[in-house]
Structure 1
Amino acid sequence: MNKQNTVRVISFCLAAVLTAAGFALKSRKELKSYKLEIQNNYSRSLDELSGSVNSIALALNKAQYMTSAKQISGLAAELLTEAENAKNALSQLPGGSGELTVLNRFLSQVGNYAMSVSKSLIAGGEINDEYSGNIEALKEAAKKISETVKDSNISYNNPKKWAEEIDKKLDGAVDKDSLAGSLDMLEDSLNDYPTLVYDGPYSDHILEKEPLMLKNAEKVSEADAMLKAAEITGLTKDSLNFEEKTGGKIPCYRFSGDNVNACISVSGGYPVYMRKSRKIGDYVLEYRQALDKAKRYLEKMGMNSFCETYYFTDEGVCVISFAYLDGQTVCYTDLVKVGVAMDNGEIMLLESSGYLTNHTDRAFETPAIPTADAAKALSSKLEIRETALALIPTRGGGETRCYEFVCTAEDGQEILVYINAVTGAEEDVLILLKSDGGTLAK
């Protein structure tokens, strides 16, 4: 072979090697990208499963204190939605060695069983020991599922764990420490979950509502809105920039500045939203001090007659919910939120869309039934601590005036029960969730 042919052969061989190496590198990159996509999908699905199962567990906790067909119907609609979300999320995760029959049966039955009980009550039936026992069994099953998913969610907040899971799935192995293994063990632990009989699905809808305070309100100019934005942010108008005019249920002028955004309604020139962003330093204020600053801020904005309801602290900002106080009635429909920085008391957040949407002049009449009669509708498992009048939103987008009973359950939980002040019907049941970060009702 002459020198020219030798060079040609070597060149061809080198090209072939480089081409093969290129394909190998491309394949590795594609495999890495594919694995990353699967990891992200798994992580998102596990988050969704965790959120839905937690909502189911909370709803079943409320169910044991409900006594009316209306409330149980609403509960069933909530359970059906969350169960469907949970099933969809579960189907996207790597399964165990079995088909998770009991787990899927639980998710299929939990909402429909509540609806069947509601229909029975409407037909004249009563809450009995069988119902209480079934709700308790459902609650315990939901608790087991929630704890397993929660532990998995913590464990799998790490890309390496998902990579290991994918490799095991490709190998066809089911490790007891993997998510698939955890689901298998969960399936075994649910063997005592009862089979429930139910009639069928229930669906619900929520009506959209036009903001009442904006009806017939005069439109304001961009310049006037700028002045209001400067007022609620505590800045000068020269430090704010007009960004856009937004649409939606509450059309707004939107302004921005250095780490701040503010929205002012086109109709009426009301403050709709304001948020500042910065790093919060060490906590200096206590809740009562933050509450005082929030109240003073609302008064300065001309928003009087509000009382504080619940609060939570997140990333150094204490967000306090205020409800409009109409005489002796707390209007939970007319809500405003104020966020206070816990390092220096700066107002970081204002949200008033709930107030703008629902507030109107109301003429409340004397309740048709006395407090003592309303209290008879409560579960025997609850001990009444406080009573007040409250206006609460309904599932259909309306509102109803109720007696608000603050109660203590047998296990020490704080429960809020709302009894219609006209009909005596149970309208809603909420559980107070208390932590170091605040108090919320769900």
Structure 2
Amino acid sequence: MHTFWNRRRGRVLAVSFLTAAFAVAIGWAVQSHHKAAYYQRLLALDSQRAFAQLSTAVGELDTALQKVRYASSSTLFSALCAQAFAQATAAQTALGQLPLSYVELEQTASFLAKAGDYAMSLAQRGDSPSDEQRETLAALSDAAAGLDVLLRDLESDLLGGAQTLSSLEEVQERLAQATGDEAAAAGSAFQTVESEFPEVPTLIYDGPFSDHLSQRTPLALEGLPEVGRDEARAIAAQFLGLDPMLFAPVSQGEGALPTWGFEAAVDGGSLYVEVTRQGGQVLEVLSARPVSDAALSPQEGVALAKDFLTSRGFPGLCETYYFIQDNTLTVHFAYQDGDVLAYPDLIKVAVALDNGDVVGFESQGYLMNHTQRSYETDLLSREEVEPQVDPQLTVLAHRLVLIPTGGQDEILCHEFRCENQRGEHVLLYFNAVTGREERILLLLEDESGTLVL
């Protein structure tokens, strides 16, 4: 009898504990549900706020572009272009806060980046626009106005509850399950904006979004013959001092620099090499082998990188800056063209500081830009330009350099390496022909190298 009551009491206790545990679980579930709902409401509010900011910024971008079309003074024109750039930047920031995938935002993001950069490029010129530039601005204004209408229509639907901004996860799940024509309806409400996006004008200017850059040819490869895959594999092997049989073809790159890609297993890691199809030049080397503790100094690593370039047929290159990450030293080299350091002709070399192996190489800047150049002879002297340097800065060094712009143009400049009152270093660039200040760069320097801002 005693045993029976003990068992019964045990069952009662067990049931009580289970009931209590279930009640606690239900309580946690309810509480978690309320929290999840609360955070979901916050997320929805944040998304709506971001969309409202996007709509407002695009409307103000349209207004600025409309005004700039009619500005007659160069000062007002530059100010309005700068205002258009600021609104395009604000719209990009708001766009990045929406819970949507990049694919769904692609045209909108591309338009905002192009319109903002084009406007800023004109603002920086400081002179009156040409008729062609005014026509381009008018076309950008029309596109912004069309986008503004689409966004306001969608905003009205959102406020009225007819549409919702889906979460990224929901959209991705629908897109993954959709096939064929279903994919067109599987995205978020924003997909309507993308599908009806207004026509964007062709932009031809000296900037990174200029449409003419997509047809640009690599200057260093002009006139060189095409190489086949087998020849490219032999070139890759010789460049790294390895057996060609180690390299397996894995890719065939397209674009401005069509390439053959190869992979090899070397030193316990994977090695990837790309060779240009025109000219058979090594474009890139990437090694995934782990690098152990550093046994070499940065100076020794720079010397090894320079010796490597010289032995591979790249003479006349001068090291500029380096940085160290995970015991790997990456050095930036530029071509020394007589008295001028040509920054566009850039090659990067990465050296493992455990044993000095070259574990990275990239020559795209050099292959795209290196050519025989002729320079202006009637230049302003250092003495004529240096008085423009802020008196709070102390000039440490000077040299003539060629700097790239955002597009295809290059500018010959006086470069002044300066130090401010806090001991920080600044680079100032003055046009060697006009004397105009073209660029300011800040140098962040520590034991890991130099970061240029």
Bin for the TM-score computed over the shorter chain: 0.5 to 0.7
Contact 2:207 2:405 in 1 (8 A): no
> Rg bigger for which structure?
2
2:258 pairs with 1:255: no
Deviates more, 1:397-406 or 1:259-268: 397-406
2:228 pairs with 1:221: yes
Picking from 359, 373, 378, the partner of 2:389 is 378
Aligned to 1:363: 374
Which has the higher relative contact order, 1 or 2, with Cα contacts under 8 A spaced 6 or more apart?
A: 1
Distance 1:81 1:363, change over 3 A: same
Unaligned runs of 5+ residues in structure 2 are: 1-25, 48-74, 100-115, 129-204
Contact 2:220 2:371 in 1 (8 A): yes
Aligned to 1:339: 350
Aligned to 1:157: none
Distance 1:313 1:79, change over 3 A: farther
What is the Cα deviation at residue 299 of structure 1?
1.1
Query: Deviation per CA, 1:327-349, whole angstroms, max 9, x where unpaired?
Result: 11111000000000011111000
Alignment of 1:348-359 (within 5 A): 348-359=359-370
Aligned to 2:247: 240
Picking from 335, 345, 351, the partner of 1:324 is 335
Alignment of 1:401-412 (within 5 A): 401-412=412-423
Alignment of 1:4-403 (within 5 A): 83-89=90-96, 205-206=207-208, 207=210, 208=213, 209-258=216-265, 259-403=270-414
Unaligned runs of 5+ residues in structure 1 are: 1-23, 46-67, 93-110, 124-202
- TM-score, normalised with respect to structure 1: 0.58
Deviates more, 1:331-340 or 1:232-241: 232-241
Look up the equivalent residue of 2:247 and give its one-letter code.
L
Distance 1:298 1:82, change over 3 A: farther
Q: Aligned partners of 2:408, 2:306: CA distance in 1, in Å?
A: 28
Q: Aligned partners of 1:428, 1:374: CA distance in 2, in Å?
A: 14
Distance 1:243 1:89, change over 3 A: closer
- Provide the alpha-carbon RMSD of the alignment: 3.8
Is the partner of 1:227 in helix, strand or coil? helix
What is the Cα deviation at residue 387 of structure 1?
0.7
Distance 1:119 1:432, change over 3 A: closer
Query: Deviation per CA, 1:190-241, whole angstroms, max 9, x where unpaired?
Result: xxxxxxxxxxxxx984232321112221111222211111123332101111
Distance 1:119 1:369, change over 3 A: closer
- TM-score, normalised with respect to structure 2: 0.56
Paired residues in the alignment total 288
Distance 1:374 1:71, change over 3 A: farther
Q: Aligned partners of 1:407, 1:254: CA distance in 2, in Å?
A: 43
Q: Aligned partners of 2:353, 2:81: CA distance in 1, in Å?
A: 38
What is the Cα deviation at residue 433 of structure 1?
1.3
Aligned to 1:432: 443
Sequence identity percentage? 31
Aligned to 1:178: none
Contact 2:424 2:443 in 1 (8 A): yes
Contact 1:318 1:342 in 2 (8 A): yes
